[in-house]
Amino acid sequence: MPRFWLIVITALGLILSGCAQQVTPDTEPAPTVVAPTSASTSAESPSTAPAIVDGTLIAHGRVQPMTVIDLSFVNGGSVSEVLVRPGDRVRAGDVMASLDVRLLNLTIAEAKVALAEAQANYEQLRSGATPEQIAQAEAEIERARARLADAQTNVTQSDIAAVQAELREARAVLERLQKGITPEVRARLEAAIAENKARLQTRINTLAGEKTQLESQIERLANELRNAQDDYSRVAWTNQQIVSGGGQLTQAQIDNETRLLRAVENAERRLQEARVALETVRQNEFSEIAAYRAEVEQSEALLADALRPATPDQIAAAEKRILQAQARLAQLTINHPNEVAVYEAELRKAEADFARLTADPTSAQLAIAQARIERAEIELRRAELNRERYQIRAPIDATVVTVNVQPGQTVEANQRVITLATLDQWQIVVTNLSELHVSLVQENDPVTIKFIALPDVLLSGRVKYIEPVGLETGIGTTYTVRIIPDSWDQRLRWNMNAQVVFATSK
pLDDT, tens digit, 9 for 90 and up, residues 432-458: 999 999 999 999 999 999 999 999 999
Q: What is the pLDDT of residue 36?
A: 34
Res. 356: pLDDT tops 60: yes
Give mean pLDDT, residues 396-402. Answer: 94
For the purposes of burial, counting CB atoms within 10 Å of the CB of 495, is it exposed (0-12), middle (13-18) or buried (19 or more)? exposed
Contact 196, 292 (CB under 8 A): yes
Q: Between the ranges 42-46, 149-153, 387-391, 439-443, where is the mean pLDDT highest? A: 439-443
Distance CA 139, CA 142 (A): 5
What percent of the chain has a predicted confidence (pLDDT) above 90?
Answer: 36
Contact 185, 298 (CB under 8 A): no
Domain 3-66+425-502 has CATH 2.40.30.170: yes
The CA–CA distances, whole Å, from 314 to 175, 305, 307 equal 12, 12, 14
DSSP 395-419: SSSEEEEEE---TT-EE-TT-EEEE
Res. 473: pLDDT tops 50: yes
Supply the pTM of this predicted model. Answer: 0.41
Contact 399, 422 (CB under 8 A): yes
Q: What is the pLDDT of residue 15?
A: 40
Q: What is the pLDDT of residue 234?
A: 92
Q: What is the pLDDT of residue 12?
A: 42
Residues in the chain: 506
Question: Given pLDDT bands bounded at 50, 70 and 90, which one contains residue 504?
Answer: low
Contact 182, 306 (CB under 8 A): no
Q: What is the pLDDT of residue 153?
A: 64
Q: What is the pLDDT of residue 34?
A: 31
Q: Where are the domains of the chain?
A: 3-66+425-502, 69-100+390-416, 136-176+315-347, 181-308
Q: What is the pLDDT of residue 505?
A: 54
CATH topology for 69-100+390-416 is OB fold (Dihydrolipoamide Acetyltransferase, E2P) (2.40.50)
Which of residues 180 and 282 earns the better pLDDT score? 282
Q: What is the pLDDT of residue 32?
A: 29
Q: Between the ranges 90-94, 138-142, 209-213, 384-388, where is the mean pLDDT highest? A: 90-94
For the purposes of burial, counting CB atoms within 10 Å of the CB of 232, is it exposed (0-12), middle (13-18) or buried (19 or more)? buried
Q: At what angle do helices 363-388 and 102-127 cross, to 10 degrees?
A: 160
Q: Which amino acid is present at 238?
A: T
Per residue in 63-122, pLDDT (tens digit) is: 999 999 999 998 888 999 999 999 999 999 999 999 987 777 878 888 889 889 888 888
Q: How many helices (H) and strands (E) does the chain have?
A: 11, 16
**Among 50-54, 283-287, 403-407, 470-474, the least confident range:** 283-287
Per residue in 134-168, pLDDT (tens digit) is: 888 888 888 888 877 776 666 666 777 888 888 88
Nearest 5°: the CA angle 176, 177, 179 is 65
Q: What is the pLDDT of residue 463?
A: 96
Q: Which amino acid is present at 129?
A: A
Contact 115, 123 (CB under 8 A): no
Average pLDDT over the chain, rounded to an integer:
82
Per residue in 221-279, pLDDT (tens digit) is: 999 989 999 999 999 999 999 989 888 989 998 999 899 999 999 999 999 999 998 88
Res. 193: pLDDT tops 70: yes
Distance CA 344, CA 17 (A): 115
For the purposes of burial, counting CB atoms within 10 Å of the CB of 60, is it exposed (0-12), middle (13-18) or buried (19 or more)? buried
State which H helix or E strand residue 79 sits in: strand 77-82
Distance CA 134, CA 140 (A): 10
